[in-house]
Each structure stands twice: as C-alpha cells, then as structure tokens.
C-alpha cells in the first residue's frame, strides 16, 4: 500500500542555475558547486499543508513530499529527526532575551544531527544504485554514515583525523565501517576519500558534494515551523562547519514560502564558529562573497574544525539576506556555556551547542539580540560524544 513519492523534478547548480538529472547519482556540478534538488511545489501546494502533517510519523519522513526518495522501501530509518524544541525560560533569563528555545539535535540516532543528512544521503545513494559510500569527517558525519550504511547493508568507508573524540571513533568501529585515522584535518581526509572514489568507485558523501545531505538537514526548518505552531523565530543561532544545516534551513524557508506556509519574512540567521577556526566569520566581516581556508584550525568542537566549505557562498548569502551575523567563540567559553546550558535546561550539550549559547550572550551584549527576541539555539550533538576532550585555548 506504500505510495511512491513524486521526488525531485531535477537538480539545479547553486551557482549557475543549470539543470541536471535527479534520477542518477550526481556529485558537484560541472562548475564545481553544490547541486540543489528542486520539486514541483505548485503541484503539491494543495495537499502538502501544515494540517496534512498532523498525525504523521514523528521523524523527518513526515516531510516525504519535499524529500528526494521515491520508493518508501528505500528509506533507511533509525528514528532521525523531529527532535524536541525545548522551551528554556531560565536560559532566556540568564541571556536577558525574550524567549529561548533549544533544538536538541543530540537526541538523534548516533547523537548528532548528522543523522538527518546521512539518513537521506544513504537512502538516496542506495535507491540510485551506489555499491559503496565514503566520506571524510570530523567525527559525527562518519558515525552517522556508518549507522545508515549498516542499516542499509551498504559498505561505508570513513576517514577521520586521528584526534577525533574517542567515543566517536569507537562508535564508527562498532557500526562496522571501514575506518582510517589520519594525522591531519578533515580537508586532508578528503584527499584520501577522493582517491578511493577515483580508484574504487566509492560514492562520495562529503558535505554538499552530493545533493541530499542538505535535503535531510533542511527538515530542521520545517520542524521549527511546525513545533512553534506555524511560525518561525526571530533569530536562529547555528554552529557552522560545512554549513549544511544553515543552507538547508534557508532552502526550506524558500520552499515553505512557495508552498504558501510563510510569507517573505525570515529569521535572522547567525553562524557561530570556533575562534580557532572561523573562516566564515572572517569572510562575513570582510564583506567577502566566499571564504578563504583557515590555517592551523584548532578547536575541541570537532564539528567546527572545518577550515574550508564548498558551500561558503551560500552560507554568506543567507547571513546577509536575513540580516544575520557571524560570531567566533573561544573553546573555554564553549565549555563554560555547556555547563550553564546544562544547569539551566537539563540538556548536556556538545561544545558546538555551548558555542551557540556563548554567542547568544555576546550578541545580547552587543545589542544584536533585543530583550524581546525569540531565539532558537541549535544544540547539534550530545555532550556524551566529547567526554575526555578538553578546550584547546
Ligand atoms: C558537523 C557538526 C556541526 C557543523 O554542521 P554543518 O551543518 O556541517 O555546518 C556542528 N555541530 C556538530 C555536533 C557537528 O557534528
């Protein structure tokens, strides 16, 4: 009785607008830029409404009409998405802003929001005939890929820096992936993956180098709308590495406008990075359209240890078009705010979540956040995955 979904109509280059076939495996566009999946939103506008979502399964597949997987039996499910949006009145009082919500992505399978992107990417890669997948990772993407690959019965090759948090390394191993540890950063790991892609035919699941991780992450935008009872917050603070989630939510808002769910208003989007690796913050402050790679990247927030991002121009566009900003936070402040957030909310956040709370305090002090703003803080992972890691500054 499972119904096939319409899926995407085509893929579109985010830089040139050129169109490509969505029904075969695709990487970057010929221009070397990310591809976005496009849907016939006009055709589903009448039926894919907020009211139609009521009573659907409490995971990201509730948004199946705007996801690329056509065959329901191709979905690889571990319970990804529809994480709680937690009202945090004591944290709001501490920060001195109107209302604070914590989107607790640490409750996803594998303890981070990477489950959303990799759940989609692995499902779609399998549906389109990939026989093995591979990716470089700062850690959490590797364990999410390992989990979904295991669930799908698809071999997974992961390359991570050797100083990746130990719990994540153990997790990747336990999930049966082929794991390589490398003395270097995620960008160095990317070179090893590229070799396997060229020589062994692995399908490359690197951030934004295939079109579907961003489709999984965009569901966070749909969830915020639903969980806030049909509206969006004033400000979204997002810990940014490759930026998939921020780019994904920005895409979701455009889709929601085309579907008639929202108007042209948007939340102010804020990128939060580590002081020891802040290429997007630097580019934002310089008014640049793209970001130069960060040298000697160092932070214990491994998800933020990303010196360069292929979607840099898309992140910067979203920050500027939304009236947002970009903030860098030193590691020791992340650690302080992990504790404050924990004591105020009951959520044991990853350092990336602590970074976002620390950034909110800075933005309240600078006046960017007003005393009546409604703010969503993304805690992107569970603190349990970083036990034993220490701030580097
Ligand atoms: C990967 C990761 C990030 C960065 O996410 P992007 O969407 O790539 O910017 C933030 N926090 C955690 C815990 C992560 O694993």
CA 119, CA 80: separation in Å to the nearest integer?
7
* Signed CA dihedral, 377, 382, 335, 208: sign only: negative
Task: Name the residue of 172, 381, 384 whose CB sits within 8 Å of the most ligand 1 atoms, as the mutation to test its pocket.
Answer: 381
Give residue-wise pLDDT tens across range 189-235. 999 999 999 999 999 999 999 999 999 999 999 999 999 999 999 99
Instruction: Report residue 1's pLDDT band, with 50, 70 and 90 as the boundaries.
Output: very low
pLDDT at 57: 96
Instruction: Determine the 3-state secondary structure of 194 from DSSP.
Output: helix
Burial class of residue 42 in the structure, from the number of CB atoms within 10 Å of its CB (0-12 exposed, 13-18 middle, 19+ buried) = exposed
Closest CA to 66 of 13, 109, 120, 102: 120
Instruction: Report residue 2's pLDDT band, with 50, 70 and 90 as the boundaries.
Output: low
Closest CA to 61 of 121, 2, 116: 116
- What is the CA(248)–ligand 1 centre distance, in A? 12
For the beta carbon of residue 76, count every other beta carbon within 10 angstroms.
24
**Domain regions of the chain by residue span:** 10-74, 85-112+214-386, 114-204
Average pLDDT in the 365-374 region?
98
Antiparallel, parallel or unpaired: β 85-87 and 268-274: unpaired
pLDDT at 3: 82
How is domain 85-112+214-386 classified at the CATH fold level? Answer: Rossmann fold (3.40.50)
Give residue-wise pLDDT tens across range 37-76. 999 999 999 999 999 999 999 999 999 999 999 999 999 9
Instruction: Report residue 34's pLDDT band, with 50, 70 and 90 as the boundaries.
Output: very high
C-beta of residue 177 within 8 angstroms of C-beta of residue 145: yes
As beta bridge partners, residue 376 has 101, 236
| Four-way CATH pick for 114-204: 1.10.760.10, 3.30.9.100, 3.40.228.10, 3.40.50.1100 | 3.40.50.1100
- What is the CA(229)–ligand 1 centre distance, in A? 26
- What is the CA(46)–ligand 1 centre distance, in A? 34
- What is the CA(15)–ligand 1 centre distance, in A? 23
For the beta carbon of residue 90, count every other beta carbon within 10 angstroms.
13
Q: Measured from the CB, is residue 318 less than 6 Å from ligand 1?
A: no
Where is average pLDDT lowest: 158-167, 265-274, 328-337? 158-167
Query: What's 175's DSSP letter?
Result: T
As beta bridge partners, residue 158 has 135, 179
């Amino acid at each position: 009785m499972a119904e096939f979904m319409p899926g995407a109509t085509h893929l579109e280059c985010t830089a040139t607008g050129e169109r490509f076939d969505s029904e075969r495996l695709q990487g970057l566009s010929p221009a070397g830029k990310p591809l976005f999946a496009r849907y016939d939103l006009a055709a589903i506008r009448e039926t894919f409404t907020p009211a139609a979502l009521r009573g659907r399964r409490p995971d990201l597949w509730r948004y199946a009409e705007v996801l690329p997987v056509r065959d329901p039996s191709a979905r690889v499910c571990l319970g990804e998405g529809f994480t709680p949006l937690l009202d945090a009145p004591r944290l709001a009082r501490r920060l001195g802003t109107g209302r604070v919500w914590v989107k607790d992505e640490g409750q996803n399978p594998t303890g981070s929001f990477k489950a959303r992107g990799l759940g989609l990417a692995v499902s779609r890669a399998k549906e389109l005939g990939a026989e093995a997948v591979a990716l470089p990772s700062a850690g959490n993407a590797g364990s999410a890929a390992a989990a979904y690959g295991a669930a799908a019965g698809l071999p997974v090759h992961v390359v991570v820096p050797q100083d990746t948090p130990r719990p994540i390394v153990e997790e990747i191993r336990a999930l049966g992936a082929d794991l390589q540890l490398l003395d270097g950063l995620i960008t160095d790991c990317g070179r090893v993956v590229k070799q396997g892609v060229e020589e062994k035919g692995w399908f490359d699941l690197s951030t934004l180098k295939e079109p579907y991780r961003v489709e999984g992450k965009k569901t966070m935008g749909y969830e915020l709308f639903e969980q806030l009872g049909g509206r969006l917050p004033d400000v979204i603070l997002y810990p940014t590495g490759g930026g998939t989630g921020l780019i994904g939510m920005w895409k979701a808002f455009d889709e929601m406008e085309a579907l008639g769910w929202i108007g042209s208003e948007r939340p102010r989007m804020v990128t939060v990075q580590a002081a020891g690796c802040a290429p997007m913050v630097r580019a934002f402050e310089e008014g640049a359209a793209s970001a130069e790679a960060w040298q000697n990247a160092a932070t214990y927030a491994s998800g933020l240890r990303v010196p360069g991002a292929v979607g840099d121009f898309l992140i910067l566009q979203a920050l500027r078009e939304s009236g947002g900003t970009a903030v860098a936070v030193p590691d020791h402040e992340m650690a302080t705010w992990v504790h404050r957030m924990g004591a105020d909310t009951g959520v044991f956040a990853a350092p990336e979540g602590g970074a976002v709370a620390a950034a909110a305090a800075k933005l309240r002090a600078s006046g960017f956040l007003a005393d009546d703003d409604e703010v969503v803080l993304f805690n992107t992972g569970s603190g349990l995955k970083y036990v034993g890691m220490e701030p580097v500054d």
